[in-house]
Each structure stands twice: as C-alpha cells, then as structure tokens.
Amino acid sequence: MEQKYIYLAQLALLIYVFGTGCNSNKSSTHTKKIVLCMGQSNALGAGQDEDYPPFPNVTLVNASINPSVQYRGPCIAFAEEFAKHNPNIQVVVRQYAVGGSPMEYWTRPIASFSSELNYFKRDQLLAVLFWQGETDGEFNFDSLWSKRFIMLVNVLRHDFGLPNLPVIYAQIGSQGLPDNQAPGWTRVQQDQASVNMPNVVMVRTTDVPRNSPLHFSAKSYWEVGRRMAQAYFALGDTLKRIDK
C-alpha cells in the first residue's frame, strides 16, 4: 500500500512539472522576442557573469563557431535594456559572431538565414545587432564595406520575410593600433557612417574606453549595448508592429 502511495505521489509530481512547463511555454509564445547578434568578437563582448547581474527576462544562446564560450556583451546589454521597458517579454539573444571575420564573410552567396526560422517564428524577431569592421580596417581590404553591409541587410530582410527588420550596428572604435598596422581603419569608419537605409541605425563607439588595441572593457560593452537599445527605441512608431 505504501509503495502505491509513493507511486501516485511521483505521478502527481510529474504531471505537475510537465503540465506547468507546457502551460508556461504556451503562455510565453506570444511574448518571446529574438535578437540576432552578428559580427566579430566585439559583438560577443568579453564580459563574464560576474560583470553583469543576471536579468530574469533574458536568455543567451550561443550559436557561434565556439558555442562553449558564453560571453556577455553589447547584445546582452541591449536585451536587458529592452526587457526593463518590456517586463512581459522574454528576450532570447542568439549569438552568431565570428572573431576576426571580414565583411566579405557575411555576404558570401552560401549565407542564408532562413534556416533560423526553425528556431523561432518570423514575427518573434526583434532586431539584428551587428558589430564588425576591425579586420577590414586592420588589413586594408577593398573599400566595399558599406555595399556589403547593405547586401547583408537585404539578405536578412529577404530571408526572414521582414522588409522593415531593424538593424542596429556599431561603428568601429577609435584606432588602437599604429597606422602601419591599421591602414584602412579611418576608411572603414567613414564607410560605415555613409550607410543610409530605413530602420538601420549606427551607434558610435569612439568615446568608450578600451582594454586592448581591438577590444573593450565589460563596462564599455554594456554602454554600447545600451546605446543600441536607445537607437532601437528611437525608431519609434515604425516598430509598433514588432513591439506589440
């Protein structure tokens, strides 16, 4: 008899746990939003958990080449700033940054992001955050950064079926390398500042402190993410269809 009661108690517990999980998934489907984080290593940041207090409404999924690295950087800061103003929304940050990748990497013909729709619904995509350009400035690649970036934005919007998808990108910071080691730095900055597309906003990083020639402190990454969030909010009425 005692064994029977133990079995029933265990069964009741399983029903409660799985029932609660299923109900929470159903209730959160319409409140979940996805942020795609792309670019070079600065898009990932270098902050660890101890650098940022955990925010209950934000989840990090690292889909980059090295998924074991769980850095917390500007994209997490963006998500947490958004979540503060939208407490009923769960924000999932999917990281795709590739350290050292040139702009050409992000516009290869094989690049297609429609497969991401296996992980979330189209209307859940909140924004794309992009921070790249240091490699192009360091190795003085051809002056096609803005053309390739525009191509990337168009591919993203086409693949996701979202012609007004917000894209917030960071301009590379002040030059931290000698001129002979970064001959294209200024040109890349100028090229980035020349982009003019609807619902595409650039944030500056030249005034935030570095902790190395190419990277920034955890506090600086947090500030850049906050700026990205403010740029997103500034888009205003255009985004009502996304924020609803």
CATH code: domain of residue 63: 3.40.50.1110
Count of domains for the chain: 1
For 14-51, write each residue's pLDDT tens digit: 223 223 333 334 334 448 999 999 999 899 887 665 56
In a domain, 10, yes or no: no
In a domain, 12, yes or no: no
In a domain, 188, yes or no: yes
d(CA 204, CA 67): 28
d(CA 223, CA 131): 14
In a domain, 212, yes or no: yes
**SS3 at position 210:** strand
In a domain, 196, yes or no: yes
For 120-149, write each residue's pLDDT tens digit: 788 899 999 999 998 888 886 667 899 999
Domain that holds residue 211: 30-243
The contacts of residue 144 (CB under 8 Å, 6+ apart) are: 103
In a domain, 84, yes or no: yes
In a domain, 106, yes or no: yes
Q: Provide the pairing of β-strand 32-39 with 125-131.
A: parallel
Spell out the per-residue pLDDT of the chain, length 244, in tens.
444 333 333 333 322 322 333 333 433 444 899 999 999 989 988 766 556 666 788 888 876 555 555 567 899 999 999 999 998 999 999 888 888 889 988 887 555 566 666 777 888 999 999 999 988 888 866 678 999 999 999 999 988 899 999 999 999 988 777 667 777 888 899 999 999 999 999 999 999 988 887 888 888 999 999 999 999 999 975 454 444 4
pLDDT at residue 236, as a whole number: 78
Beta strands in the chain (DSSP E): 32-39, 58-62, 90-95, 125-131, 167-170, 200-203
Task: Please name the residue that has the structure tokens 């517990």.
Answer: 13
pLDDT at residue 218, as a whole number: 84
In a domain, 3, yes or no: no
